[in-house]
Amino acid sequence: MKFGKEFASQMVPEWREAYMNYNNLKTLLKQILIFHRRQTRLPDNHVNSRPAPPSKAASLKRRVSLFRAFSGLTSRYGNNSPKEDKEDEVILVSAMQQADEEQGEDVQSYQTVFLRSSEEGGDLELVFFRGLDHEFNKVIQFYKSKVEEVVKQADELSQQMDALIALRIKVTNPTAAAAVAAAMSPFINRTNTGSIPLEVIHEDQQPKRTEVAKGYQMASLEVLNHVKVNVAPETPITTMKNVFKSLNPNLHFNKSEVKVAEEKLKQAFIEFHEKLRFLKNYAFLNQLAFSKIMKKYDKITSRNASGAYMKMVEESYLSQSDEVSKLIERVEAVFIKHFCNGNRHQGMDTLRPKAKRDKHRITFFVGCFFGLSLALTVAIIVSVHARDLLKSQGRTQYMNTIFPLYSMFGFLVLHILMYGGNVYFWARYRVNYSFIFGFKPSTELGFKEVLLLGFGLSVLTLAAVLSNLQMELDPQTKSYKTFTELLPLALVIVVILITICPFDIFYRANRFFLLVCLWHCICAPLYAVTLPDFFLADQFTSQVQLLRNLQFYVCYYGWGDFKHRNAETCNNSTVYDVLFIVIAVIPYWIRLLQCIRRWNDGRDSTQALNGLKYFSTIVALVTRTIYSQKGGIAFKVISASTSGFATIFSTYWDLVMDWGLLSRNSENPWLRDKLILPSRSIYFIAMVLNVILRLAWMQTVMDFRELPFLHKNALTAIFASLEIIRRGIWNFFRLENEHLNNVGKFRAVKSVPLPFSYEDGYKNL
C-alpha cells in the first residue's frame, strides 16, 4: 500500500482536516516533476522515474545513499554532524512570532526561504515550500491546542480522583483514614513548578512521612466539604424528582455512591486515554508524512533539502513535546492502581482494546444463508406455480391472515439488510458510526455481521412460509394443521428470546445496547435524549406496518382465530380499529416527546420546530387511517391536505436539517461545503428519491388500494417496503451530516459526565 493511502487510513476521521494535506503537496511535486521532464525531454509515460542525474558520479552517490540506514524522525543534529557546504544549501528555515487574531496572543510559526528561486522552475518549488510551511504551521497549532486541552482535562481528573479517594476512605474505614490514604492516595507535588496532573507513586516508591511533609500532601477528607455528587443514576423516578426539586445532590457516604462514582470516573479515564493515544499517533503520523514528502522532493529535484527541513521538524514542538507521553504513562499508572487493583494486564486490556478481527467463518455463513435464502425463494415460487395456488379459493383468506404474519418478518429483514448496506458505506467512506452511536470499543457490528443476522432470519422465515403454503381446509377436520398455523407465532417467540437472551451469544453487547435504547424510547421524555435514542425512534416511524402486523398477531392468536384461519374477530372489533390508529401514532408520539425533552434541556428552538413536524405527521396519519376505515369526501379532503403539509414539512426537514443540504452559498451548489461521497450527483439522486418515496401515502388518499393481479395486503406491503428503503437512504446521509459536524468541532472521543463537581472558586491544592 502506498504511503498516501496508509496515511489516510491511519487518520482520526474527526481530525482529518487538521492533518498534513499530503495529497495536495504531492500534487505540487507532480507539477515540478512534469516541468523537469519537459526540460530533460523525457517521455510522459515515465511517471515513476526521476529526472536524469547530472553525472555518473552523482548517480552512483545517490544510488549508494538508498542503502543508508534511516535516521529521519529520531536523529538529532548536533555539533558532531557533518556540516553542509553553503553552496549546496537549498533552504533556510526560521521561526518567527506572529499575532493570532482569534486567540489574541503571539504564536510561533515557521517559514522556509528557498534559495534557488532564480533557477528555472524555481517558482514551482517556491509554491511547494509555501504550501509545506502552511501545512506544518497548521499541524503545530492544532497539536499545541490539543495538548493544552488534555493538560487541563488531566488537572480536572486529578481533582476527581482526590474526591474519589476521599470518598473511599470515608466509606470504607474513616478511623484508619491516614493509613488508607498512605496506601491509595495519588500524591500531589507541591514544588515551585506547580502540581503535576495525575501524578502517582507506586507502592514500592512510597515516600517517608518526613518526605511527605516536605514535598507532598495526601488527599484529605476536607475535599468532601467542597464537592457535590453527580452519581444519581438517571431513571424515570429520579427525573420526576428533579422536576419537583426533591432530589438531594449532597453526598450520603455510602458504598453505592462509591461504586457509581468509580464507574463514571473509570469511563472518563478510558476516554481520556484514547484521546491521548489519538494525539500521540497524530504527532507521529505527521512527522512521518513530512519526512516522506521531503524525500520525494529530494528525489524529484535531485536536491538535498530534507535534512535541513527535518532538523527543524525534530526541533519543533511537535517532536520535542513530551507532555502527551508523560500523561499516557500517568493515566495508565493511575488506572491500573486504582481501578484494576494493580493488575497491569487487565488494565492495559481495558485501556487498549484489541482491534476487531475479520472472521472468515462469518463470511462463509453469510454466503451460505444468502444461498439458502435464494434456494428457498425459488422453492416457494415453484411450489406456488406447480400447485396453482394463485387460483385457489383459499387465496384471499390466506392473504388476509397468513400473509400479514410473515410480511412482518419481511419488513424486519429488509430493514436489517438496509442497515447492513449503511454500515458498509459508512465504513468505506470513514464515517465513524461506532463513535457516533456510542458503541463500546470493538463491539460494533460490521456489515458482514449485520448481513449474517438478516440472511439468517430470512432463512427461518422462508422455511416457515414454505411449510405453511396450505390454502385449503382439511376436508375431514374442517380446520388447518395446528403445527403449521403456529409457525409464525413460534418464529416471533424465537426472535424475542434471542433478543433478550442473557448469555454471551448472538452479539450480547449489541442486543443489550438495543434494549437500553428501546427502553429510553418507551420512557420518553424521562431520559435525556441521545443520538441512538432518537435514531432508533426514527426507525420505528418507518415501521408502522410492522407494528400493525404485530397487533394483528396478538388479536389473531389471542382470540383463537388461527384454528380456522379467520380474522373476523379482529376486523369486526371497534377496539381493534382504535388500537390500529394508536399503534401507528406511538413512534411519532415518542419522537414528539423526545423533541420536547431536548428543547427543555437545551432551549433549542430547532427542537420545537422538529416536534411540530412530528405533530403534523400524527394528525396526517390519524386522518388517513380514519378515511381508510370510514371513507367519505370530507375525510378525503382533510387527509389529503394534512398529509400534503406533513410531507412538505418532513421533506424539507430531511434535506435541510437532517442532511444539511440545499445551501445556496455553498462551495458545492445546493449541497454542503464538505461532502464525503466522490460524486455530487448521488446527493441530488437521493433528494429526488426521498421526495418520491415520501409520496407513498397518496395511495391511501387516491383509493389506490388494490390491483386486479395484486391483493391489497401485498400492495400495502410494497409501499411499506418503499418507506423502509427511504429510511435506509435517510440513515446514511443523516449520519454523514452528524459525522461532518463532529469533524468541524474535532470531536473524536465521547464526553463522559464526571461524578463530582467542585464549588466555584475552590481549588484542591
Residue type, 598: R
- Which among 191-195, 256-260, 373-377, 665-669 has the top mean pLDDT? 373-377
Most confident of 96-105, 563-572, 613-622: 613-622
Q: Identify the pLDDT of residue 630.
A: 81
Does position 760 have pLDDT exceeding 90, yes or no? no
Cβ-contact 419, 397 below 8 angstroms: no
Amino acid at 401: T
Residue 597: the pLDDT is 94
560 Rama sector, left if φ>0, alpha if ψ -120 to 50, beta otherwise: left
Q: What is the 3-state secondary structure (H, E, C) of 178-215?
A: HHHHHHHCCCEECCCCCCCCCCCCCHHHCCCHHHHHHH
DSSP string covering 303-370: ---HHHHHHHHHHSHHHH--HHHHHHHHHHHHHHHHHSTT-HHHHHHHHSPPPPP--HHHHHHHHHHH
Highest mean pLDDT among 120-124, 176-180, 369-373: 369-373
Determine the Cα–Cα distance for residues 573 and 552; give it in Å rounded to an integer.
12
CA distances (Å), 244 to each of 114, 230, 239, 241, 398, in order? 70, 17, 9, 5, 54
> Measuring CA to CA, which residue among 272, 285, 278, 406 is closest to residue 339?
272
Q: How sure is the predictor about 193, in pLDDT bands with cuts at 50, 70 and 90?
A: very low
Convert the pLDDT of each residue in 195-236 to its tens digit. Answer: 445 654 333 344 443 343 344 444 567 777 778 877 666 677
Q: Which amino acid is at 179?
A: A
**Residue 763 confidence class, pLDDT cut points 50, 70, 90:** low
DSSP assignment letter at 443: -
705 — pLDDT class (breaks 50, 70, 90) = low
d(CA 532, CA 750) in angstroms, rounded, equals: 13
What residues contact residue 720 under an 8 Å CB cut-off, 6+ apart? 407, 411, 544, 545, 546
Question: Which pLDDT score is estimated for 725?
Answer: 96
143 — pLDDT class (breaks 50, 70, 90):
very high
Helix, coil or strand: residue 231: coil
Whether the predicted pLDDT of 74 surpasses 80: no
Instruction: Tell me how many degrees the CA angle 103-109-110 measures, rounded to the nearest 5.
Output: 170
Helix (H, G, I), strand (E, B) or coil at 106: strand
The confidence score (pLDDT) of residue 453 equals 96
Q: Is there a contact between 195 and 188 (Cβ–Cβ < 8 Å)?
A: yes
Q: Which residue has the cell 415453484?
A: 382
Euclidean distance between CA atoms 98 and 373, whole angstroms: 66
Mean of pLDDT values over 670-698? 90
pLDDT at 701 over 70: no
- Name the pLDDT band for 242 (thresholds 50, 70, 90): low
What does the pLDDT average to over 309-335? 92
Q: What is the pLDDT of residue 211?
A: 41
Domain locations in the chain as residue ranges: 140-352, 360-744
Residue 756's φ and ψ, nearest 5 degrees, are: -125, 145
Report the C-alpha gap between 376 and 368 in whole angstroms.
12
Q: How confident is the model at residue 543, as a pLDDT?
A: 95
Average pLDDT, the chain: 82
Given a cut of 50, is residue 257 above it in pLDDT? yes
Distance CA 249, CA 260 (A): 14
Three cell numbers written together for 145: 491546542
Cis upstream peptide for 525 (omega within 30°) = yes
Q: Grid cell 501545512 — which residue?
A: 135
Residue 762's pLDDT band (cuts 50, 70, 90): low
**Mean predicted confidence (pLDDT) in 466-490:** 77
State the DSSP code for 763.
-
pLDDT of residue 120: 77
Q: What's the average model confidence in pLDDT over 507-532?
A: 94
C-alpha cell at 17: 482536516
What separation in angstroms does the CA of 685 have from each of 663, 680, 689, 729? 16, 9, 6, 11
> Strand pairing partners for 94?
111
Q: Residue 714: CB partners within 8 Å, gap ≥ 6?
A: 399, 403
| Chain centre to alpha carbon of residue 289 | 27
Cell representation of residue 649: 414539512
Query: Does the pLDDT value for residue 185 go beyond 70?
Result: no
- Mean pLDDT confidence for 91-105: 69
Is 475 or 348 the better-scoring residue by pLDDT?
A: 348
pLDDT at position 181, please?
A: 45
Phi-psi region of 155 (alpha: psi -120 to 50; beta: other; left: phi over 0): alpha
Specify the range with the lowest mean pLDDT, choosing from 7-11, 63-67, 411-415, 721-725.
Answer: 63-67
Residue 691's nearest CA partner among 659, 740, 650 is 650
The reported pLDDT for the residue numbered 168 is 83
- Please determine, for residue 101, whether its predicted confidence score (pLDDT) is greater than 70: no
Distance (Å, whole) CA 259 – CA 168: 9
Max alpha carbon distance in the chain (Å)? 108
pLDDT at res. 612: 96
pLDDT at 285: 95
| Residue 223 pLDDT | 78
Give the helix ranges, DSSP H, for 433-486.
433-437, 447-466, 482-485
Contact 508, 445 (CB under 8 A): no
Higher pLDDT, 82 or 280: 280
Q: Which residue has the cell 482526590?
A: 162
pLDDT of res. 209: 39
pLDDT band at 22 (very low <50, low <70, confident <90, very high): very high
Closest CA to 161 of 233, 254, 266, 250: 266
Residue pair 491/461 in contact by the 8 Å Cβ criterion: yes
Say how far apart CA 431 and CA 425 lie, in whole Å: 8
Phi and psi at residue 216, to the nearest 5°: -130, 155
Alpha carbon separation from 453 to 182, 372, 744 (Å, rounded) = 53, 14, 35
Phi-psi region of 492 (alpha: psi -120 to 50; beta: other; left: phi over 0): alpha
* Predicted pLDDT at 488: 93
